[in-house]
């Protein structure tokens, strides 16, 4: 007898739950009703493909609320930019597997030294996908470098481009405007750019942004609009009023990085992860 895959087990379990609660009303984000070949967003978030360490950060990152705010559906073509170790990939891949398409575009820095420093992380990300074909076989890995997207489908065909906590790096590297233009080109008219980023206090200088990792909301909006996007919504889903944004080593002082090591660790743990803007931009329907 064949051993069932985790995906098949998830489907059978989810169908059983759906049958048992068919008369119960749930909030739309967590509703357990879907086609037999699909994995709901709630089940993707709860699935065994996610590491315990990543799951523990849901209290700060609010994946269900964030992705719902962006308007994600399971039939979309999505490009995730600079996925890092794959925190959101663990959710997006199983959710989009049956009916959608997920492209991953690791960010390759233009500076050769920086690119070499990040290369092992990108290799680990690729290996993570290769080690779990049941969850990641439908994922295609391309790249983003110097404002050029490669290996992520034809221009103008993506429904959504997502980037989480990356903009400060592109500001430092001088790639922000070129990257925004690349995202605009990748999206179909009406497509969505979803942005989550560490939020600076209004009036924070560009020099301080580069040092601290915190970016002002107005700065992000200004540069996205310059690329052709329209601001379609803001959310406070990922806000953190405890974040004072004045730490010795910038945003990396806070969890999960704890750049100060054991120094004041309990204090930073009590603050939690950074205060973040969550913005939804749209490529106008008349865009080209």
CATH of the domain at 151: 3.40.50.150
C-alpha distance across the termini of the chain, in Å: 53
> Is the pLDDT higher at 31 or at 179?
179
Q: How confident is the model at residue 11 (pLDDT cuts 50, 70, 90)?
A: very low
Q: How confident is the model at residue 200 (pLDDT cuts 50, 70, 90)?
A: very high
Span 142-169, average pLDDT: 98
**272 lies in which domain range?**
51-282
Contact 14, 40 (CB under 8 A): yes
Residue 37: predicted pLDDT:
63
Contact 244, 267 (CB under 8 A): no
CB atoms within 10 A of CB 5: 12
C-alpha to C-alpha distance for 269 and 253, rounded to whole angstroms = 10
Number of domains in the chain: 1
Is 196's pLDDT higher than 90? yes
Span 93-105, average pLDDT: 98
C-alpha to C-alpha distance for 237 and 273, rounded to whole angstroms = 13
pLDDT in tens, 22-64: 332 323 333 333 344 689 999 999 999 999 999 999 999 999 9
Nearest to 163 by CA among 44, 40, 66, 54: 66
- Domain membership flag for residue 99: yes
- Domain membership flag for residue 39: no
pLDDT in tens, 124-153: 999 999 999 999 999 999 999 989 999 999
Per DSSP, 190 falls in state E
- Domain membership flag for residue 89: yes
Q: How confident is the model at residue 230 (pLDDT cuts 50, 70, 90)?
A: very high
Is 158's pLDDT higher than 80? yes
The average confidence (pLDDT) of the chain is 89
Q: Is residue 196 exposed (0-12), middle (13-18) or buried (19+ Cβ within 10 Å)? A: buried
As beta bridge partners, residue 105 has 81
C-alpha to C-alpha distance for 53 and 55, rounded to whole angstroms = 6
Residue 143: predicted pLDDT:
97
- Domain membership flag for residue 41: no
Residue 288: predicted pLDDT:
57
Residue 287: predicted pLDDT:
53
Span 192-205, average pLDDT: 99
Phi, psi of 187 (to 5 degrees): -80, 145
Q: What percent of the chain has pLDDT over 90?
A: 82
Distances in whole angstroms, Cα of residue 75 to Cα of each of 6, 58, 79, 254:
21, 24, 13, 36
Alpha-helix runs per DSSP H in 56-155:
58-61, 63-70, 89-96, 112-130, 133-136
Span 260-286, average pLDDT: 98
Contact 36, 11 (CB under 8 A): yes
- Domain membership flag for residue 28: no
- Domain membership flag for residue 125: yes
Span 165-178, average pLDDT: 97
Phi, psi of 159 (to 5 degrees): -85, -30
Nearest to 233 by CA among 76, 118, 77, 68: 68
- Domain membership flag for residue 20: no
- Domain membership flag for residue 139: yes
Contact 92, 64 (CB under 8 A): no
Residue 113: predicted pLDDT:
76
């Amino acid at each position: 007898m064949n051993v069932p895959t985790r995906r098949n087990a998830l489907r059978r379990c989810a169908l059983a739950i759906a049958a048992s609660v068919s008369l119960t009303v749930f909030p739309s984000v967590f509703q357990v009703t879907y086609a037999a070949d699909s994995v709901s967003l709630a089940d993707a978030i709860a699935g065994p493909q996610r590491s315990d360490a990543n799951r523990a950060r849901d209290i700060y990152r609010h994946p269900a609320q964030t992705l719902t705010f962006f308007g994600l559906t399971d039939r979309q073509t999505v490009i995730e930019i600079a996925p890092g170790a794959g925190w959101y990939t663990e959710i997006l891949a199983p959710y989009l597997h049956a009916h959608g398409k997920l492209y991953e575009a690791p960010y390759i820095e233009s500076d050769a030294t920086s690119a070499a420093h990040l290369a092992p992380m990108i290799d680990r990300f690729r290996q993570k996908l290769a080690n779990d074909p049941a969850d990641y076989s439908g994922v295609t890995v391309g790249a983003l470098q110097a404002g050029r997207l490669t290996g992520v489908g034809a221009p103008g065909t993506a429904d959504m481009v997502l980037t989480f906590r990356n903009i400060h790096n592109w500001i430092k590297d001088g790639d922000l405007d070129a990257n925004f233009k690349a995202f605009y080109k990748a999206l179909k008219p009406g497509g969505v750019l979803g942005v989550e980023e560490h939020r600076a206090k209004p009036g924070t200088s560009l020099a301080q942004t580069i040092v601290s990792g915190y970016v002002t909301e107005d700065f992000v909006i200004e540069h996205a609009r310059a690329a052709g996007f329209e601001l379609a919504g803001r959310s406070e889903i990922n806000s953190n009023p405890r974040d004072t944004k004045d730490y010795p080593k910038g945003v990396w002082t806070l969890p999960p990085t704890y750049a100060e090591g054991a120094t004041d660790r309990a204090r930073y743990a009590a603050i939690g992860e950074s205060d973040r803007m969550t913005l939804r931009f749209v490529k106008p329907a008349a865009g080209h």
